Copies of this chain bind each other. A is one copy, B any other.
């Protein structure tokens, strides 16, 4: 399959602003992106990074020589993804379909990508916490996206209206997107890549307490 990874570097991860400044959020967002890229590179799937014009120049310094294939598009996230789905099905018709995987799935594993790839259905969705859509694969050109906080239900509806079979993949790793301070602990607990190292290097430690453990930042 072909994997599209949308990424925006201009002001990423605004909901982490209470614990990270803009420069840190950029570094951290790139670290998570690198974790996702590393996983896709360990599979046989092709990939592209889908970015706005500004992001394209902003991320270059973080990658040195190893920049992945980049496609630039300056619309909204939904416009950009729909345009890439169209382009793929119109021209390449990729074997196995087109997947769109968010760049903040810092716990992604090869096995989680395979779950998406091997699940039956015209459309396979991986919901995120709170009703977002963290990843999906479509094997039909008739599926389109409409991203927003509660997009999972809409994407089920879009598939249904287009008369496409759809299913959901059950994966903690695909369901864990990193948007809010409370999410960071999952990377410290279960991650082992760039974003895990970044959090460690920037003083984020697991703090045991009554109820769920929390993450705190050392001064």
Contact = CB atoms under 8 A, between A and B. Distances in A.
Interface of A: 15, 109, 111-112, 115, 127-132, 148-150, 152-153, 168, 170-175, 179-180, 182, 185-186, 189-190, 206, 208-214
Nearest to A169: B172
A152 B189 contact: yes
Contact of A170 (B111, B148, B149, B179): B111
Given A149-B209, A149-B211, A171-B171, A185 B130 contact: yes
Contacts of A150: 206, 208, 213
A212 B170 contact: no
B174 A132 contact: no
Q: Which of A131, A174, A214 has the most CB of B within 10 A?
A: A131
A208 B150 CA distance: 6
A73 B170 CA distance: 34
22 contacts: A109-B170, A111-B170, A115-B170, A127-B172, A129-B186, A130-B182, A130-B211, A130-B213, A130-B214, A131-B189, A132-B212, A148-B208, A149-B209, A149-B210, A149-B211, A150-B208, A170-B171, A170-B173, A171-B171, A172-B172, A172-B174, A175-B175
* Most B Cβ at <10 Å: residue of A112, A209, A210, A211: A211
Which of A174, A189, A206, A212 has the most chain B CB atoms inside 10 A of its CB?
A212
Nearest to A175: B172
A65 to B, nearest CB: 33
A173 B169 CA distance: 10
B171 A211 contact: no
Contacts of A170: 109, 111-112, 115, 171-173
A213 B172 contact: no
Given A153-B189, A189-B152, A189-B153, A212 B172 contact: no
Contacts of A130: 182, 185-186, 211-214
Contacts of A173: 170
Contact of A131 (B109, B172, B179, B206): B206
